Amino acid sequence: MTTNETRPGDSRFFQRSGPFGLEQLAEASGSEIVASASGKNVAAFRGVAPLHVAGPDEVSFLDNRRYLPLLAETKAGAVILSPAFSDKLPPDTAGLVCKAPYLAWARVATLFHPDPKSTGIRHPTACVADDAEIGENVEIGPFAVIGSGVRIGRDTIVASHVSIGQSVEIGSRCRIGANAAISHARIGDRVTLYPGVRIGQDGFGFAVGPEGFETVPQLGLVVLEDGVEVGANSTIDRGSMRDTLIGAGTRIDNLVQIGHNARLGRCCIVVSQAGISGSTELGDFVTIAAQAGLIGHIKIGSKARIGAQCGVMSDVDAGADVIGSPAMPFREFFRNVATLRKLSRKSSD
C-alpha cells in the first residue's frame, strides 16, 4: 500500500462522466470564461483535482486567498475562482469566474461524478413482501427485507441488509444505505439515508407508576420531506401522538439524535453528535453545530444558529446566534469568558 496522496475520483470507487468542454463547464457552473493568456485552451476536460495536483485536462478551484501561491504554480487547465483572483491565473490556465466558486465547484464535480443510478436489479436474496408496491427501475440489494404494504417510488436504490417495515412509503429517486432500518415512516422524493440510519423507532416516552416505569405507546410517524439527507448512524424517533417532521432540504450529519415529535423546518443543518429532544421545533434554515444539546418543548426561530457544544434550555429568537451552556448570545458569552480570565489573572497575582 502506497502512502502517496490518492487522486480524487478513483475509478474503482467513483463513477465518471465526460469529457466536457470548457463551455459545458461554464454553463453547468454558471461561470464566465476567462481565456488563458497563451490562448491554449483545453478542448476537453476529464476530471477535477486540487490545485497542487491538477493536470492540463483537469479543473480545479480557488475560494481562499491563502491558497494563492498554489494558483501561481498550478498546471490545471481551468480553475473556478472569484473575480477578485481572475488576474492571478497562470498563462496556460483558463478561468471559470463566478461569485460563488464553491457552489460552482460542487456543480462541476457533480457533472464529472454524478450519483450512481439505479440498476433496477433485485438481488435474489432480497425478501420482498408479495403486496409491496415497487416502482419502475428500483434496485434492491442483497438480504434487504421489505415488509407488507411498503410502497417504493421509481429509480430508488435500496442497499444491502436494509430493513423496511410494514406500510412504509418511500418516494422516487431515493437512496437507502446499507443496514438502514425504517419503520412507521413516510419519506418523500430524492431522500438520502446513509448507512446505519434508524428511522421510526419508539420515542423515549414513559410514565412513572407505583412499581416503576411504564412505556407510553408512540403512535405517530416520521415524515421526511423531499430532498432530506440523514447521515450515517443517525436516529429519528417517531412521534408519540403527532408526527416527527423533517422539512424539505434539511441536512442531518452523522451520529445525530432527534427525539419524538420534533419538527424541523426547511433546509436546516444539524451537525454531528447534536441531540434534539422531543417536541422541540426549529424554524427554516436553522443551524445546530456539533455536540449541541436542545432540551424538549422549546422553539428555535428561523435562521438561528446554535454553536458547538451549546446547551439550549429555552426558546431562541429568529436570527439569533447563541453559544455556551446555558446558551447565551455570542457577544455575552465571550464577554463573560474575558471577565473570567481577568479575574483569574488577578487572583493569581
Residues tagged active-site: 260
The full 3-state SS of the chain, as one line of letters, equals: CCCCCCCCCCCCCCCCCCCECHHHHHHHHCCEEECCCCCCCCCCECEECCCCCCCCCEEEECCCHHHHHHHHHCCCCEEEECHHHHHHCCCCCEEEECCCHHHHHHHHHHHHCCCCCCCCCECCCCEECCCCEECCCCEECCCCEECCCCEECCCCEECCCCEECCCCEECCCCEECCCCEECCEEECCCCEECCCCEECCCCCCEEEECCEEEECCCCCCEEECCCCEECCCCEECCCCCCCEEECCCCEECCCCEECCCCEECCCCEECCCCEECCCCEECCCCEECCCCEECCCCEECCCCEECCCCEECCCECCCCEEECCCCEEHHHHHHHHHHHHHHHHHHHC
